[in-house]
Each structure stands twice: as C-alpha cells, then as structure tokens.
Structure 1
Amino acid sequence: MRFFKALVAAGLATLGLCPLRASAHPHVWIAARAQILFAPDGKIAAIRHTWTFDEMYSAFATQGLGKDGKPPTKEELAPLAKTNVESLAEFQYFTLAKTGPKTYEFGEPKDYELEADDKKIVTLSFTLPLKEPVSAKKPFTFLVYDPTYFVDIELEKVNPVSLKGAPAGCSMTTLRPDPLTSGDSAKLSESFFSGLPIGADFGIKMATRTIVACP
C-alpha cells in the first residue's frame, strides 16, 4: 500500500497535481480475477489472485525497465512483485474471508509474479493461503477491496471467480454491489475536492461478494 501511494504521488507530482488528494479518492485501478483453491480433503486452502493494473500505474511501475522498447521480463519485475505483496501485508492483502461473522487469517503469499504484456500493462498474480483450511459446508464468503478506497478493485465482468479442485456439488454466487446512493455519491465527491479521507467503510460498500457453498 505504501508503495502504491508513493508511486502514484510521484506520478501526480509529475503532472503538477496535488499528491494530498491521492489519499481521498481512488488513484489506482485494478481489474481482478480470483481462483478458489481446494485441498484434497475438500476444504478451501487458498485464493489465487490475478490483478491487472491500470495504464498509469503500469507506466510508472515499468519505467526504465525493458530493452529496445520491449516490455520488461518477469525476472526484471521480480523485485517489484516482492515489494507489492509485502506492502499489502498490513492490509490483509485487500482480502476478507469469512463464514457468517467469523473471519479468517491468511498466511504469507506465495508463487507471486508480476508480468507485463505487449502494451506494458502489468498483472500481479499471487497465491494467498489461509492459515487453516476452511470447510465450505457453511457458506464461505470472500471480498477483495481496499478499505481506504485508495485502490479501486473491481472483479472482471466475465468469469471473475473460479473453483479449482472443488468437491462435486459445490456452488458459487457472485454478488455485485448496489449502485451508490445519492448520499454516498455526494460523500465521494466531497472527499475528492476536500482532500479528506472518505471513510473506512466505503471500500467494502463497493466490493463484490463471492459466496461458495459445498454439500
């Protein structure tokens, strides 16, 4: 998170804009996919995230990398991938997992990598293991969001979440957030122009919920 903010602040300064406002409104956009990974015993063991960043973030992240105009390699981006996942630790990797009111903790991410496509758009992929595998016999819910709403994370429209190794009969539902109320829209606009934080609850209001249930 600190890395995201530092990078965007540098970009805003380059454009002659006030970095203070970066704290009050989304300035990094992510198109996300997720894969729920099941253990052999049928419990949910991890979530595999795939996050594609916006053009502005990608441009600054890849600045000075690559040769002869080509996108940087995974090896060149490896230190940046490490910095990304480490900076997300204090925010629980923008991931909330729960069963009813009970929430679950995650272990350290693994198998992380950052890759740039031909247009130098970067995608971060990493596996986020649960500290303890979780049964999905009771509905398991997870959300991906930034509580500060500095980063706007939106699940892809088509096939945003998939299951891997799930027992037969498991089902999955993706519930997208309701449209903003007039009050929330006014709050968002006010925070942008005032430079004041929008509130820790706003990010979750904008988050898509995925519910997994198994027999």
Structure 2
Amino acid sequence: MHRPSPSRRGRRPASVGLLAALACTLAAGGAAAHPHVFVTAKEQVLFGPDGKVTGVRADWTFDDMYSSFVTQGLGTPGQLLTREELAPLAKTNVENLAEWGYFTRVKLGSQTLAFGEPVDYWIDESPDKLVTLHYTLPLKVPVSAVPAVNVQVYDPTYFVDFKMAERDPVALVSAPAGCSFSVIKPRPLDASDNQKLTEAFFANMSPGTDFGIKLASKVMVACP
C-alpha cells in the first residue's frame, strides 16, 4: 500500500501487489498526481475492563483497482475468495505495514503511543470484489482517555489516500459510560497545496515531510 520515499529507495514496498497496482495506474494515464491507492477506513477504539484504551481495530477497504490486482490469480474464477485463501496476503500486508507504523497515530496529549504486535488479522472479499483488511493494534501500555485520546490514519507521503467511512466510521468497544467520540475532518487543500500534487513534488519530497497529515481526519475519544 505504500511506495518507498526517496530516502528509502531499495527497501521493500509495504504491500504485496503494490507494484502491479501502481503499474496499472501508470499505464492508465493516472500518473499525473498522487494518490494512487484509496482506502475507506473504519476504526474501533478498544477499552479494557479497567476503562483504559487498550488499542485500535482497523477495517480498511481498498479501491477496486488495488483489490483486483492483489487478488489476481487467487481462488476459483467467479467465486469469492475465502479468508483461508487470502491469509498469506493478510500476513504479508500486516508484517510489512510495521515499517510504516501501520499508518496509524494514537496520541494522548502530545505523546505518541507505541503499539505492540498486531493480532487478529485477516482479509475478506465482498460481493462487489473489494478487499478489506482487518487487524488489531494493541497499545503497549493502555491509557485513560482523559481528557482525550486522538487517533489519525494517514500516509505522510499521500501515496495512499485514507478517508474515514461516511457511515459508522468509529466505534467505541466496551467503553465506560459517558465516553464519546468526534471526527474532525481536514480542511480542504488551498490552491498552493493542490498545485503540489504532482509526481515530481512527491519524488523530491524531503525525508520526514508529513504532507499527508493535511488531509487526515482526526478521531477524538474522550471519557469523563
């Protein structure tokens, strides 16, 4: 799901099938600007018995082009792929996403929280032939959502465009009474930023540049 940045050339892409999906995008004449992969995201914020946030569960649905290419040659033609058939793809995706921090940031105030190893991961295919990656990211140290925990899902280089689902984008699982969430959508890009969305701009992006945060929604979870 990710193209290595200029400072990371030669390192393995973060998802099997990415190069095929990218090749199709370029061949179709879509190379004029980022992004190249589109994801509709739903996030579940998980709570433990003590009322602390223990992690997040991601449900990411990929666009039709990406879905088509990562499943090419798998299963029986005309039949939906099973979880078992997609298990190697799920394993590869989750393992390689670690290099990129799972495109997920969870913060308590100004502190960015660390994740443990992902668990409970799988991929399924829907009747409309879109694939969805499901996985859980446990926090290494659970935290209280007081005053608030913030969750953002985005690619800093904007190769992958993450958008929160319009319907039920967030769920609080086993949250204490009185906890709530809000989704703050990003401001539209100004004219200057829109003009930057070319391959040349991203190819020459300085290491550490965080362009994707400009287009990232923020989920705020607060408990009394």
Answer yes or no: same fold by TM over 0.5: yes
**For the residues of structure 2 that align with 1:196 and 1:134, how far apart are their CA atoms?**
38
**Secondary structure in 2 aligned to 1:88?**
helix
Contact 2:46 2:174 in 1 (8 A): yes
In the alignment, which residue of structure 1 is the partner of 2:199? Answer: 192
CA distance in 2, matches of 1:110, 1:98: 20
Q: In 2, distance between residues paired with 1:27 and 1:16?
A: 9
Q: Hey, what's the Cα distance between the residues in 2 that align with 1:38 and 1:195? A: 38
Structure 2 match to 1:10: 20
Letter in 2 for 1:192: E
1:72 alignment partner in structure 2: 81
Q: How far apart are the structure 1 equivalents of 2:146 and 2:26?
A: 53
**Structure 1 outlier segments of 4+, above 6 Å:** none
Consecutive unaligned residues of structure 2, counting only runs of 5 or more, are: 3-12
Q: Determine whether 1:136 maps to 2:130.
A: no
Alpha-carbon distance change, 194 to 175 in structure 1, aligned in 2, over 3 angstroms: closer
Query: What does 1:162-177 align with in structure 2 at a 5 Å threshold?
Result: 162-177=171-186
**In structure 2, C-alpha distance between the alignment counterparts of 1:160 and 1:134, rounded to whole Å:** 22
Task: Check if 1:109 corresponds to 2:99.
Answer: no
Structure 1 position 185, deviation (Å): 0.5
Contact 1:65 1:71 in 2 (8 A): no
8 Å CA contact 1:52, 1:121 repeated in 2 = yes
Match of 1:47 in 2: 56
Question: CA 1:198/1:56 → structure 2, altered by over 3 Å: closer, same or farther?
Answer: farther
* SS class of match (2:85): helix
> What is the CA-CA distance between 1:129 and the residue it aligns to?
0.4
Task: Say which SS state the counterpart of residue 47 (structure 1) adopts.
Answer: strand
Cα deviation, residue 11, structure 1 = 3.6
Q: Is the 8 A contact 1:81 1:112 kept in 2?
A: yes
Residues in 1 aligned to 2:112 and 2:159: alpha-carbon distance in whole angstroms: 23
Larger proportion of helix: 1
| Alignment-derived partner of residue 208 in structure 1 | 217
Cα 1:197–1:75, aligned 2, differ >3 Å: closer, same or farther? farther
Percent identity of paired positions between Structure 1 and Structure 2 = 51
Work out whether residues 34 and 161 of structure 1, in 8 Å CA contact, stay in contact via their aligned partners in 2.
yes
C-alpha distance in structure 2 between counterparts of 1:182 and 1:14, whole Å? 29
Partner of 2:36: 27
CA distance in 1, matches of 2:67, 2:204: 25
TM-score (normalised: structure 1): 0.90
- Judging changes above 3 Å, is the alpha-carbon distance between structure 1 residues 8 and 68 closer, same or farther for their aligned structure 2 residues? closer
Q: Aligned letter for 2:20?
A: A
After superposition, the CA RMSD in angstroms is 2.2
CA contact (8 A) 1:25 1:198 kept: no
Is the contact made by 2:18 and 2:70 (CA closer than 8 Å) also made in structure 1? no
